[in-house]
Amino acid sequence: MKADVQLPIIKPTRDQLKEGEVLCQYCTAKCCKYFALPIEQPDCFEDWEYIRWYLLHNGATLFKEDDTWYLLVHAVCNFLQPDNRCGIYDTRPQICRDYSTNECEYEDDWLYEQYLETPEQAGEYAEAILPKKKGQSIRSPKPALLPVLN
Confidence of residue 137 (pLDDT cuts 50, 70, 90): low
pLDDT at residue number 108: 78
The answer to the question of residue 43 being in a domain is yes
Overall domain count for the chain? 1
The answer to the question of residue 142 being in a domain is no
The answer to the question of residue 10 being in a domain is no
For the stretch 102-130, pLDDT in tens is 888 888 777 888 999 999 999 999 989 99
Which residue range forms the structural domain that includes residue 96?
Answer: 20-129
For the stretch 39-52, pLDDT in tens is 999 999 999 999 99
pTM of the model: 0.72
The answer to the question of residue 103 being in a domain is yes
The answer to the question of residue 3 being in a domain is no
The answer to the question of residue 46 being in a domain is yes
The answer to the question of residue 106 being in a domain is yes
What is the DSSP code string of the chain?
Answer: -PPP-PPPPP---GGGPPTT--GGGT---GGGSEEEEEEPPP-SHHHHHHHHHHHTSTTEEEEEETTEEEEEEE---TTB-TTS-BTTGGG--HHHHH--GGGSSTT-----SEEE-SHHHHHHHHHHHSPPPTT--SSPPPPPPPPPP-
